[in-house]
Chain A
Amino acid sequence: MSAREKLDSLPASAAGPPAGLVAVAMSGGVDSSTVAALLLQRGRPVVGLTMQLWNQRRLPQLQGDGPAQHRCCSLDDVYDAKRVAQHLHFPHYVVNFEEQFEEQVVRPFVEQYLSGRTPIACTNCNTDVKFEPLLRMARQIGAERLATGHYARIRYDAASGRQQLLRARDDSKDQSYFLWGLTQEQLSRSEFPLGELSKEEVRALARRVNLPVAEKPESMELCFVPNGNYVQFIHAYASEIGRPVEDREGDIVTRDDQVIGRHKGVHHYTIGQRKGLGYGTGKPVYVLALDTENNRVIVGEDEELRAVEFEIEKVNWVSVVEPSRPLRARVKIRHQHSPAAALVEARPGAGARIRFDEPQRAITPGQAAVIYDGEVVVAGGWIK
């Protein structure tokens, strides 16, 4: 019996959504669609929810030709999610969180960028949109749990009484780096069915159940940026909110304030970016920092790009409570960074200090540092 048939066959006195109803956050992509299929296979009643997060028509100057695809809330993606729901016979709704998304994700993203930091949008979306108003909406309509297509795992540790967040079994797909902000409450109501699977297994399953999206390519970009050109997006959005970004020429300087060149605009650079050969030394130089206040790009050689110690703020201790003693762990400072051995010291009320055993390249303000103990996500925080 299909999920829908099950729903329809309930006696009148039991009017209401079935017990154990789980909401699936559906992006229209193969991962979240396969989550729905998996849950149904296990006999669980499913309701699909697709979030409307950003109105593509809002910044018309960014509209390319043709409908936007693979961007959150493009009609194609909604259509794909609906087709999957139709194919697997479960109810599907589109829910609007444009306001929350702009406030919690887009605006902070742009503001961070404009102050010279390198922001991540996806973490805020998870913590403040997907697992907040969406989870609440799911509960309001009768689904006590929310499943997503994230590659990560949740495990309840009876000994400590804590929900733990773990890396995915398929390390190459692991998305735990973006989920460190989740609270115990949020984790207790969430499920990541793909955490034990490899991408190949997911696609194979999608094909086996003939999902309409089984061959859909993955989206690699920020979901709200139509063409992947996030610099263009930032400029368009900043203008729209009345804070246009002006490209102003300025100095490229070393840490000792030695001017070694000119730049055409601070916002064209990211930390860690290689910037040609050093003045006099002939060695490559890299962007160390963006001094937006004085409109300068600060560069240095590779060694200067490396650091050992740094601080993080707004730390969320996920799988453990905040430790009173320093702990040894491995820390990631970028999504594409191999977790490196470090000593982590919590500073109550003031985040944490992290000291790597070996210097790491480009510890970048705005990015997140995520602390791992083996496969367990211990904590995460924002790099100051």
Chain B
Amino acid sequence: MPRIYLDHNATTPLEQAVLEAMLPYLSSEFGNASSIHGYGQRARAAVETAREQVAALVNARPQEIVFTSGGTESDNQAIFGIVEPLLGGTPRPHIVTTSIEHEAVLNTCQALEKLGATVTYVPVSRQGRVDLEALRREIRPETALITVMHANNELGTVQALEEIGRIAAERDICFHSDAVQSAGKIPVDVQAGELDLLSISAHKLYGPKGVGAIYIRSGTRLRRLLYGGHHQRGFRPGTENVAGIVGLGRAAEIAQRSLEGDAARISGLRDNLEQGLLARVPDCRANGAGAPRTPNTSNFTFSGIEGEALVIALDLKGLACSTGAACSSGAVEPSHVLTAIGLPASEARGSIRFSLGRHTTAEETDAALQIVPAAVAQLRKLSPTYPRPASAHH
């Protein structure tokens, strides 16, 4: 059975060139990048090359890039780093963020709320876009941080970073963006966006899992999360994951080169898939399709079925996708993102996400256009909530 992977927002396969770039650092070049000797020097050189590659992807300077264990750590570092030092003073520090952020941002904000910060979660439109006027209105004298994700993982919706950056700059407020889903898919420019902090994750751009980066504008004061050695100019202790970092760097370099071409090709396939499903499946809707989106994402609501059952049925037919909101034990709350754009719980639960990738082919999306409608029809036949079509006789 052919296996079709349409879950690239969950993770991406390692690009072959990335794997090849990493292998020496998992075998013969095993040195600790902090060691004085030759082994260390070569590892150090590889890390610094990767730093340049990541910096180039986002139009930053290499010394402004710190490698982390991934997007979650970068988000935690950015938000805690700015707000934590202000706790305990008066007035209480205030954060402005959105209702559709990834849990790595939301839960960090909630943790800071418990510690005394105040947080405003700006709502979004039906298309998943932040209302800029609403955001501007929420800013207070004590607002210490604005954090808004560049692209949403479930819908693909892209926010107007440059305009938010301008608002933040006007009021001299630190501006962070979780660019985990945007880096490598659409251009990310920390200068144009007037960003102070940015989070990146390797495994979303055809690099390895377990490594990411945080962009920290020169001059930004950030309380560190971890204590230990003096790695990464004393800011982020821990012996560097050299192979992972090399992988991230190479992946960033490849992404930068192929971004435009990829975007054109993938969005064509995505649009084809989307139009095709809307035409072939009754009672379904594409969420967030009316707003600027990453080129690869398509979030669908199919009336009368459980998204969970559909994902399983599709997996058994060889098609991998997701409901966009999951936890390891299977306890699924309706997606907070779909709830934030106004979907009632029943519809949120009947939604699934397709996310295409650099190597997705037209054959695969064509196959999906056969498999998905059949699976939805099968589920609806047995669904207690999907109305039966008026039938003549059985």
Chain A residues with CB under 8 Å of chain B are 7-12, 14-17, 21, 47, 50, 52, 55, 73, 75, 78, 91, 93-96, 98, 136-137, 139-142
Contacts and interface: CB of A to CB of B under 8 A. Distances in A.
B1 interface: yes
A16 B370 CA distance: 12
Contacts of B331: 52, 55, 73, 96, 98
A142 B313 contact: yes
B379 A52 contact: no
A93 B382 contact: no
Nearest to B381: A140
Contacts of A96: 308, 330-332
A120 B155 CA distance: 44
Contacts of B379: 140
B319 to A, nearest CB: 9
A11 B2 CA distance: 8
A93 B331 CA distance: 12
Interface of B: 1-2, 305-306, 308-309, 312-313, 315-318, 328-332, 367, 371, 378-379, 382-384
Contact of A139 (B317, B330, B382, B384): B382
A47 B316 CA distance: 9
Given A98-B331, A137-B312, 13 more contacts: A7-B1, A9-B1, A10-B1, A11-B1, A15-B318, A16-B1, A21-B316, A50-B330, A52-B329, A55-B331, A95-B330, A96-B330, A96-B332
Contacts of A98: 331
Contacts, number: 73
B329 A73 contact: yes
A54 to B, nearest CB: 9
B1 A12 contact: yes
A136 B308 CA distance: 13
A17 B367 CA distance: 16
A57 to B, nearest CB: 9
Contact of B330 (A91, A94, A136): A94
Given A12-B1, A15-B2, A15-B318, A141 B329 contact: no
Nearest to A82: B328
A12 B2 CA distance: 6
A137 B308 CA distance: 10
Contacts of A55: 331
A15 B368 CA distance: 11
Contact of B329 (A7, A21, A78): A78
Nearest to B310: A140
A17 B316 contact: yes
Nearest to A55: B331
B308 A8 contact: no
A47 B330 CA distance: 16
Contacts of B313: 140-142
A94 B2 CA distance: 24
Contact of B317 (A8, A15, A78, A95): A15
Q: Which of B309, B317, B379 has the most CB of A within 10 A?
A: B309
A91 B316 contact: yes
A141 B330 contact: no
A8 B1 contact: yes
Contacts of B309: 95, 137, 140-141
Contacts of A139: 382
Given A55-B331, A94-B329, A96-B331, A16 B317 contact: yes
